[in-house]
Amino acid sequence: MKYLELTFNITPFNEAATDVLAALLGDVGCDTFLLQDDGLKAYLLADTFDEAAVQEVVANTLAAFSPAAVHEPDASPLAITFTSTPVPDDNWNATWEAEHHFEPITLPNGHILQIIPRQAFGSGGHATTRMMLSFLSDLLLPCISSPTVIDAGCGTGILGIAALKLGAAQVFAYDIDEWSVRNAEENYALNGLTAEIRLGDATCLAVAPQADILLANINRNILLADMTGFVAKIKPDGHLLLSGFLEADIPVITEAATALGLRLADTCADGDWRALHFSR
């Protein structure tokens, strides 16, 4: 699978604008992000690249952070430029590993979780991953005995691995990206664990078991598109954990979930990112 690297320069640099840019880029196919001193690098499958859609994301970000929008008429307006560069398959992992070192994560129960992120999203350092790990810890440690967990859009596998280490009995995971599936398999083995991991989209849920917990750290559009499938796989007393979106996305996500019979049980915020916990 061929990837593109999109390099965004933001002048003057604005961390909040970078977070919003990343969230919007997730809606147009980008699945991995690296924060830079002057902007952001984003990665997506080459055959999904839509330059007009990316240009629209840039325009929307600029509009959201215009002097008028932030009520600072004397502020300097942002400028965002981007370039795209093919990423050769044969050197992606070597480059990634040479540039990034990830420390093992200690979970609340003392278990150690090790991850080699390679091309997949989910090293444990991003706000959305931290919030999902917090929700999982709160649910699994005191509340649910040996649950079944579905990890939708598993990335590196970090959340499913954490679930098993926190007491889950089994994990069913899937991702649309072949690299993510391969990386997740590697990370489960690295931690001495196993799970059923499928390559594909939400259609994989057709063969998934009913879950006590379904978790999805993706982006708003995919969460909304797949909500019906998610809810169909949650047991009557089950839980749905969602992240990968911003404050402005909460109403539409909550409306979709409650229309399908779920109740909003908790919310979590980390910087500009949000996570929601629904229950039946």
For the ranges 127-131, 134-138, 202-206, the lowest mean pLDDT is seen at 127-131
Instruction: Give pLDDT, residue 91.
Output: 52
Q: Which residues contact 61 (CB under 8 A, 6 or more apart)?
A: 17, 20, 21, 24, 78, 80
Asked whether residue 126 falls in the same domain as residue 235, the answer is yes
Asked whether residue 44 falls in the same domain as residue 156, the answer is no
User: Higher pLDDT residue, 62 or 95?
Assistant: 62
Asked if residue 5 lies in contact with residue 85, where contact means CB atoms within 8 angstroms, the answer is: yes
Mean pLDDT of the chain: 88
Last-in-domain residue among 23, 52, 87: 87
**274 CA to centre of own chain:** 11
Q: Which residues contact 81 (CB under 8 A, 6 or more apart)?
A: 8, 9
For residues 164-185, give the mean pLDDT.
92
223-239 pLDDT tens trace: 999 999 999 999 999 99
One-character DSSP codes across 37-68: TTEEEEEEEGGG--HHHHHHHHHHHHHHTSTT
For residues 34-46, give the mean pLDDT.
85
pLDDT of 93 higher than 60? no
For residues 147-166, give the mean pLDDT.
95
User: Higher pLDDT residue, 90 or 31?
Assistant: 31
In single-letter form, the type of residue at position 12 comes to P
Cα distances (angstroms) measured from residue 267 to each of 202, 241, 250: 24, 10, 9
**Residue 254, in any domain of the structure:** yes
| CA within 13 Å, CB half, 25 | 26
CATH number, domain at 50?
A: 3.30.70.100
Asked whether residue 113 falls in the same domain as residue 206, the answer is yes
Kindly tell me the sign of the dihedral angle through the C-alpha atoms of 235, 236, 237, 243: positive
53-76 pLDDT tens trace: 999 999 999 998 998 887 888 888
Whole-number Å distance between alpha carbons of 244 and 147: 23
Last-in-domain residue among 55, 87, 119: 87
CA angle, corner 173, sides to 167 and 176, nearest 5?
Answer: 155
**Residue 79, in any domain of the structure:** yes
pLDDT of 143 higher than 90? no
Structural domain range at position 7: 3-87
Q: What total number of domains does the chain contain?
A: 2
For residues 73-85, give the mean pLDDT.
90
For the ranges 6-20, 91-105, 185-199, 256-270, the lowest mean pLDDT is seen at 91-105
Instruction: Give pLDDT, residue 120.
Output: 45
Which token pair is 268? 């979590």
Which token pair is 27? 């809606």
For residues 151-177, give the mean pLDDT.
94
